[in-house]
Structure 1
Amino acid sequence: METTDQYPVPKRVKYDKAENPAEGEDKISNLPDTLLHHILSFLPTKYAVRTCILSKRWKYIWTSVTSLDFDDGFYDTEPGKKRVRAKVANFMNFVDKVLIQNASSLEKFHLKCGSSCDLNRINTWICAAMTRKVQQLCLLISVKQSLKLPHCLFTSEYLVKLELVGNFVLNVPSSICLSSLIILYLEKVTFVDDISVEQLFSSCQVLEFLTIDDCRWDNVTTFDFSIPTLNCLTIYHCNSTGHKIRFNLPALTVLTYAAYAPEEFIVDDLSSLYEASIGVELSEDQYKIKSSMHGDCVHALLEGVAHVKILDLDGDTMETLSFAAEHPYMPTFPNLKRLGLGVCKNYGWGMLPCLLECSPGLEVLQFYEGLVHSDGQRKFNWDSPQSVPYCLLSHLKSIEISEFEGHDQEFEVIKFLVNNASILERLVVNFRERRVDVEGQVKIGEKEELKVAEKFLDLQKGSAHCRIVIGTSFGSIFIKGLKG
C-alpha cells in the first residue's frame, strides 16, 4: 500500500480501455488545471494531497491549490498522551511539507490545532501564509498560554477576511495597515489596552463586518468602536462590566449586542442603523446591586438606536430596563415597524404599553420567548392601560407569540391586543413544546391544548379580517374570523 506522509491510500486500479472504453475514460483528469484546483479547494488539504497517486496527471495538481485547510483533530484534546503526541508530530511535519511544496498565492488558509502543536511552528505557518498573499485567514488555536501574533499579520494589503479563535493577545504594533480587510471575527482574544483597540480599528480602512465573541478587554477603559465603513457589528458574551462602550459608526445598519451591561453606553453616531438586537444582561455582582444606573445605561442605548425599523429586546434587557430611575420612560421610535420582545422572570411587563405607545408606526409585534418565564413563575405584572396605544388603532397587522402555555394571564395580554388592534391581519400562537415532569407525566397534552385553543373562538374582535393560527403539538388550527 502506497502512502503520502501519514495518510495511507489504496493502490491505483488500472482500467482496460479495450474491454470497456466508456468505463475507462477519465473525464475529470481531462479538465483544465484551473478547474481541478477549484475542485480541490473544497477539500481538506490532507485529501487534496492524496490525489497525487491517481495518475501522473494528478501528481502535482495539489501543489498549486490556492486553498489550504489543516486540522490536527485534537483541538480540545489534553496534551501529553503518547498517541496524541505522535499524531501531532506527523501533522506538523505534514503542514511543513505542504507549505514547502505548495508555493502558490493563497486565497484561503485555515488552521485548526490544539495545544500539542509547537507555537513557534504555528507562527512560522502564519508567516508563510502571509508571504503567499493570503486573502482569507482562519486560525482556531486551542492553547492555554497566551499566543502573540507575528507582526506580518498586521501589515497585509491582501487580507480580506481574518478569523481568530483562541487565546490570542492583540498586542498591535504601531505600524499596522489592513487596508483590504472587510470581515473580522474575534473569539476569546484579549485586547491589551485602549491604544491597541484604536490602532486596530483605525487601520481597517474598509472594514464592513465585525464580530467580537467572548473576548477580554480587562485593561480597556473605553472600548471605542469608531469605524466609518462598518456595516454590521456583533458583540457576544463579553464581560464589559466596569467599561464604557462608544459607538461612532455612521455606516452601521445592523447591531447585535448580547453581553453584560457596561458602565456606560455612549452613542456618537448610529445614523444609518436599520436593525438592532439588544440583550443586556447583569452579572452576578451587578444583579446584587440592581442599580438604576444599569437601567439608565440601557435607556441611553435605546435612545441612540431609536430610529431603527427593526428592534429586538430580550428578557434580560427588559429586566434591566425595569431598574431604570425614570421607569417607565421610553424614547419614541418613529420608524419602528417590527418589535420583538422577551420576558425574564416576568419583569418588564409594565413597560409593554409604554413601548407600544412610543412606537406609533408598529406593524409586527413578536413575543419570541413567550408570555411567561419558563422557570414556572406564572403570574406577571400586567395591567391593561386605560388608553389604547396609537399603533394598535392604526398600524399593527401581525402578532406572533411563541412558547404559549395557555394561562389566564397570557389571555389577558392577548385579549387587550386583539380587542384593540383595528386592522390586525394575523395572530400566530405556538404552544410551548410539551414538557415532562419528574414523574414522567406530560404537563399539557393534546386534549388540553385543544381545550385552550377553543378559547380563541370567544375573543372579541378588533378587526374583522384577522386570521388566527394556533400551532399545537398535533398540527395547526386555523380560525378565519373573530367573534364580534
Structure 2
Amino acid sequence: MDPISKRQKPLEESKKMEESEEEEDRLSRLPSSIIGHILSFLPTKQAMATSVLSTKWKHLWKSISNLDFDDWFVTKHPHNISTTRSVRSFEKKLFIDFVYQVLLLRNVWDMNKFRLKYINKSSASHINAWVATALSRKVRELDLFINNADGNILRLPGDLFISTTLVLLSLRLTTRVSLNVPNLVSLNSLKILHLHSVGFSDEDTLHRLISSCHVLDDLSIQDCLWRNTGVVNISSSSLKSLIMKTMFIDDKCKIVLNTPNLQHLVYHNLLKGGYLWDNLNSLVKASIRLTLYSTAKARDRVVKLAVSQLVEGVSGVQRLYLNGDSMEAVQLWCCSLPEFHNLTYLELGHIKGVSWKLLPDLLGTSRQLQTLVFEDLSTVGDENHQLHWYPPEKVPSCLLLHLKVIEIRKFRGERDELKLAKYFLKNANVLKKLIIHPTVSKESEVCKELLMLPRGSKTCQVDFI
C-alpha cells in the first residue's frame, strides 16, 4: 500500500466515526417524550438496555407507556425441554425478578399496553400480581399468552372484569382450562376481545362476558372448549367483526348469533347441530370453511336443517368465501339455495367431487355477481381426476349482465381447466378480465391456446400473473 493510501484510511475511519456520532447526537437531541414514545415500540428488555448509551438515556426507558415481556427474550432457552431443572428454575426466577423490577422502576403512572408471553410454568400469584398492577395503572390493552398447565380453572384478578379503561383484552392459554368469570362483569370500554384456547364450564359464561361489553367491536374465539353446553349464544348490538375457528363443542350444539350490526364473519369449524343466525342484516363479508368427516356425511337428517340455516344466515352478504367441504355440505343437504341478492364477490376453495354440481346453482342465485375467484382447480383426489363441471342449460344472468372479473389461481393447464375457462370466456358478455395464475410456463401451448379462445366480451383481457 502506498503512503498516500495509508494516510487516507485513518481519515476515512475518523470521518465515519464522526458521522455516526452526529447521527447519535441527532437522536439524543429529540425531546425525551418522543424518545420515550419510540422506545415503547420495543420489547421491554431492549428498551431497558438503552440506559447504558449515555447519562440522558439512563432513565428514559422508565417513561415508556407500553410494556412487552417475553420470556424468550429475557432468558436464554425457556422452551428447551432438555435444559436441566436447576437452569430452568434459575431462568424462571430471573424472568420473574425482571418483570417486578420494571414495574417498580417505572416513573409514570398510566400504562397504555401490557403484553406478557410466559410459556414457562408459572405461579398464578405472580401473573395475577402483574395483571393487577397493570389494571391499577389504567392499562388500555392487555395481551396475555401464558402457560396455565398447573390448574383446572384460570382465576384472574376480579378487577379485570370491571375495568373502566380496558379497550383490548387478548387471552391465549397453553391448555383449555376454564376461565373463571365472576357474576359481576362490567367492561364498558372494551372494544376488542380475543380468546384463544380458553375453556368455558357452561353455556352462560361467554354470554355473560360478551353481554357486559356494551361497545364491543371485534370478537375472536379460536380453539376454545365448551363443557356441558347445548347452545353457544353470542349476542351483541355493537359487534362488527366475529371470528370463530375450531370450537370444541358437542356436534349437536347450536350456535346462536344475535348481532344486528355484524359486518364481517369468519366461521371455520366442524359442522354443528344448528345455526340460528336470524339477525345478520348488516353482514357484508363472510368466510365459511367447514370441515366434514365421513361420520358427518352420514347424518343426513341431523345436518340438513343446520346447513340450510347456515346458508340462509349468510345469504345477504356482498363478499363470500366457501371452501370445498362447505360446497359439498350445501350440495348434499340444502334442498334449494336462497337468493344471494347482494353478492358481488364470490371466492371458492378447492372444489372436489359433487361440489362442482353446486356451481351452476350458485351462479344462478347470485344475479349481481361481479367477481368470481377459483382458489384451486386441481383434480388431485377427485375420482377419475376430472373436473365435474357441467354447464347449465341456461346461461346465468350474472354472466350476461354483471360478471366483470374472473380469477383462476394455481392454473395447471389441464384440459378440464381449459374447458371451464372456455365456457366463461364465451358466455360472460361484460367480462373485462380473466386473470390466470399459471403453475406452468406462460409460453406453454395451453396458455397460448387460452389466449386464442373466443370471447363473448369485446373488451375482455386475459392476464397471466
TM range (shorter): 0.7 to 0.9
SS at match of 2:226: coil
The whole-number CA distance in structure 1 between the counterparts of 2:379 and 2:266 is 23
Are the counterparts in 1 of residues 350 and 378 from structure 2 also a CA contact under 8 Å? Answer: yes
Determine if the alignment matches structure 1 residue 90 to structure 2 residue 101: no
| SS state at 1:320 partner | helix
Distance 2:304 2:452 in 1: 39
Quote the Cα distance in structure 1 between the aligned partners of 2:240 and 2:266. Answer: 12
Mark the CA change 1:21 to 1:296 in structure 2 (over 3 Å): closer, same or farther: closer
- Name the CA distance, whole Å, in 1 between partners of 2:89 and 2:96: 10
Alignment of 1:152-231 (within 5 A): 152-166=159-173, 167=175, 169-231=178-240
Residue identity opposite 1:459 in structure 2:
L
Within 5 Å, which residues of 2 pair with 1:354-393? 354-368=361-375, 370-375=376-381, 377=383, 378-393=385-400
2:353·2:382 contact (CA, 8 Å) conserved in 1?
no
**Is residue 41 of structure 1 aligned with residue 40 of structure 2?**
yes
Partner Cα separation in structure 2 for residue 76 and residue 291 of structure 1 = 46
Query: What residue number does 2:54 align with?
Result: 55
Q: Alignment partner for residue 258 of structure 1, among 238, 243, 268?
A: 268
Q: What's the offset of the Cα at 1:77?
A: 4.2
Query: Which ranges of structure 2 fall in alignment gaps of 5 or more residues?
Result: 1-16
SS in 1 for 2:208: helix
Q: CA deviation at 1:470?
A: 3.0
5 Å-filtered alignment, 1:334-349, equals 334-349=341-356
**Residue 418 (structure 1) aligns with:** 425
Task: Assess if the C-alpha contact under 8 Å between 2:307 and 2:334 holds in 1.
Answer: no
Paired with 2:44 and 2:20, the residues of 1 have a C-alpha distance of 31
The aligned residue for residue 325 of structure 2 is: 316
Unaligned runs of 5+ in 1: 1-18, 433-444, 472-484
In 2, the alpha carbon distance for the partners of 1:203 and 1:80 equals 45
Q: Is the 8 A contact 1:163 1:186 kept in 2?
A: yes
Q: CA RMSD in A?
A: 2.4
Structure ranking higher in helix proportion: 2
Residue type of the alignment partner of 1:195: D
Aligned equivalent of 1:237? 246
In the other structure, the counterpart of 1:9 is none
Q: Tell me the number of residue pairs that the alignment of Structure 1 and Structure 2 aligns.
A: 437
Q: Structure 1 residues 160, 283: CA separation in 2 closer, same or farther (over 3 Å shift)?
A: farther
User: Displacement, 1:344?
Assistant: 4.2
After superposing the two structures, state which structure 1 stretch, 85-94 or 402-411, moved more: 402-411
Number of the residue aligned with 1:81: 85
Measured in 2, the distance between the counterparts of 1:410 and 1:290 equals: 33
Corresponding residue SS for 1:110: strand
Partner of 2:7: none
Match of 1:465 in 2: 459
* Paired residues for 1:399-478 under 5 Å: 399-432=406-439, 446=441, 450-471=444-465
1:102 alignment counterpart: 106
- How does the TM-score come out when normalised to structure 1? 0.84
TM-score, normalised by the number of residues in structure 2 = 0.88
1:303, distance to aligned residue in structure 2 (A) = 1.1
1:139 paired residue among 136, 141, 144 = 144
- 1:458, 1:60 → 2: CA distance? 70
- Indicate how the Cα distance of structure 1 residues 34 and 363 shifts in structure 2: closer, same or farther if over 3 A, else same: same
Within 1, Cα distance between the matches of 2:280 and 2:331? 25
The one-letter amino acid paired with 1:35 is: I
SS in 2 for 1:322: helix
